[in-house]
A and B are shown apart, each in its own frame.
Chain A
Amino acid sequence: MLLYKSMQQIVKVSQLTKQFNSLTAVNQLSFSVESGDVYGFLGQNGAGKSTTIRMLLTLITPTSGDISIFGYDLNKHRKEILQQIGAVIEKPDVYKYLSAYENLKLFAKLSGVKPSNKMLMDQLEMVGLASRAHDTVKTFSQGMKQRLGIGIALVHNPQLIILDEPTNGLDPQGIADIRNLILILSREMKKTVIVSSHLLNEIEQIATRILIIDKGQKLVEGSSAELFNDQQTILQISVANNNKVIQTIQSSTWANNLLPERDGQIMVGLNKEDIPNFNRMLAASGVDIYSLQARHSLEDYFLQVTAGKQHVGTFTN
């Protein structure tokens, strides 16, 4: 059993790099996860999230850099560290010809646990599969498989839980269930959770800290509160003639605030107090405006950061 050297810092990644031939999937990436964090790991497809998570789980060997978990070098203490980690990596693939109960029992044993019937049924109860415990997994829906995958990740009561795209393929109810489960794990069971997802609003609702990466490099790291400047907002403008409005903005003092269009709508980054003046300027130019919507979500922030790469660094508390 591993004795934690560092209870404060659960994961510390330093200068992590992974190259696949000429492709650098992860480039000099450094970050840390503290005890009790729900650590949101964000990035576009191909940004290097899954490669990083696989390096944390020893599925991929880093080209260079260091990973320490619970204060121990992952290379030297792989087995002891993995005893304290539960993971779901992308799809929750399990043995389809076995039942949920058999899968859970098998993976519990592989995790070094001697499972009792009660323990396994309690675990299946927790993920809502007790009534289907003895059905083969091939009869399960995607959501049920995902819940079983999470049950497998938690069966040995790990301290650190790593979830790579845990809401993939789930319906809205399934996504809400996973979100609630993560919150229970964090708040009630005091687990540390690293979760990557492309559903940014989900991350926004649960993450205490967020890391955004792009092309294998860190763009920003910090808490939701730190990442969002309350005074900064993105104005989404719906108009009859985009070109005319864009020309108007480009010839105004807000030319530098213009962001790339999204879904055919004009996006402008503004300070909150500038919105009335901006509105007056547009109205004075005589364009037909259907709507002006101030957005302030992680998704906007994420797109702003990954498109413009405006921030590189770490927010400090």
Chain B
Amino acid sequence: MWEHLQIELYKVFKRPRTYLSFAAITALIGVIQLGLLVDGKEYADFVMADFANSFSVDGKILNGYFICYVILQLLLVHVPLLIALIAADMISGEANMGTLRILLTKPQSRTSIVMAKFIASVIYTLLLLIWIAIMGLFLSMLIFGTDDLFLMKSSYVVIVKESDVFWRYAGAFCFAALAMVTVAALGFFLSFFAENSIGPIVATMSVIIVCTILSTMNIPLFNLIKPYLFTTHMITWKEFFDFKVNDANEAIIGSIQYPDKIIRSATVLGVHIVLFVGSAVWLFRKKDILS
């Protein structure tokens, strides 16, 4: 299994397509950082427009932590496509190339082959998120410096102390990793039903788009299924930036307002991963290889 995983990783990182995702992430983050570096003050004024008459803010709103939050909000919508490029190609790509049949004539169990491929997709996903963290968080901290994190929620403002921010980002990135692994599992599952890469990649994105729409629309019928849709829970990483307050309405350092929400979302995402991968293994063990 370990050797097979090494082989799968070797194949993934030998393909030029793999590096497209890293290049795309670098370009996207670079553009956002450049824009905020050049015109950041105007952006901050625009963001603060509603609050300008209520209170004034000392310090740097446009600091590295804030930039990273903006990047995460924008990027986590697009990253699923980059993940689908690899995960949804794992089986269908091999079927398309004709290598799947050679692979399956080797003395390896089908379960081991599927699991090695899935774990390789997960490692790719995690590396992509680490790259986002390096570019989005660490590079932004280097360029824009650090200060308290100023966030606007729908009906209130959150100011997270500088000393209390970093671990929240660690938690948010871990949760985002879980959400993206769910996307990888979906793409991986769909890759069993096609013999070309395009179909499963498009299908993965279509499922995410449809489920996101269902998760977002506030219609009673959809509200019934929302708690079971993985897209509803993919944005729960934001909960790491909400904290509890004491009786004096002061932030409790190191607290999270709704930790149960994070646990529930993580559980739903975990169940989806198990279902997608379990189904993939079950299907693959029974599948006749006709390609």
Footprint of B on A, CB under 8 Å?
Answer: 54, 57-61, 78-80, 82-83, 85, 87, 89-91, 93-98, 102, 106-107, 109-112, 149, 152
Contact = CB atoms under 8 A, between A and B. Distances in A.
A254 B291 CA distance: 47
Interface stretch (B103-111, B152-160, B248-256): B103-111
Given A54-B289, A93-B101, 16 more contacts: A54-B101, A57-B101, A57-B104, A58-B105, A59-B101, A59-B105, A59-B289, A60-B289, A61-B286, A82-B105, A89-B101, A89-B105, A93-B98, A110-B108, A111-B106, A152-B102
A110 B116 CA distance: 12
A107 B106 contact: yes
B107 A95 contact: no
Closest 3 CB pairs of A and B: A93-B98, A59-B289, A110-B106
User: Which residue, B98, B107, B289, has most C-beta atoms of chain A within 10 A?
Assistant: B107
Interface string B109-141: 100000000000000000000000000000000
A57 B107 contact: no
Contacts of A79: 107-109
A95 B286 CA distance: 25
A48 B286 CA distance: 20
Nearest to A93: B98
User: Max chain A CB contacts within 10 Å: which of B10, B105, B108?
Assistant: B105
Contacts of B97: 93, 95-96
Contact of B288 (A59, A78, A96, A102): A59
A57 B99 CA distance: 14
B16 interface: yes
Contacts, number: 72
B224 interface: no
Contacts of A96: 97
Interface residues of B, number: 24
B16 to A, nearest CB: 7
Contacts of A87: 102, 105
Given A59-B289, A61-B286, A112 B98 contact: no
Nearest to B104: A59
A109 B3 contact: yes
A79 B107 CA distance: 5
Interface of B: 3-4, 7, 10-11, 14-16, 97-99, 101-109, 286, 288-290
B14 to A, nearest CB: 6
Contacts of B106: 82, 107, 110-111
14 contacts: A57-B101, A57-B105, A59-B101, A59-B288, A80-B107, A82-B107, A83-B107, A93-B97, A93-B98, A95-B14, A96-B97, A97-B15, A106-B7, A110-B106
B98 A97 contact: no
Contacts of A112: 107
Contacts of B10: 106
B15 A94 contact: no
A156 to B, nearest CB: 9
A78 B98 CA distance: 21
A110 B7 contact: yes
Contact of B102 (A54, A80, A83, A89): A89
A315 to B, nearest CB: 31
Nearest to A84: B107
A96 B98 CA distance: 11
Contacts of A57: 101, 104-105
B19 to A, nearest CB: 12
Contact of A98 (B3, B14, B107): B14
Contacts of A98: 11, 14
B173 to A, nearest CB: 31
A60 B288 contact: yes
A179 to B, nearest CB: 22
B102 A58 contact: no
Nearest to A89: B101
A57 to B, nearest CB: 5
A78 B7 CA distance: 21
B256 to A, nearest CB: 45
Nearest to B108: A110
Contacts of B107: 78-80, 82-83, 110-112
A99 B97 CA distance: 15
Nearest to A108: B106
A57 B97 CA distance: 19
Contacts of A54: 101, 288-290
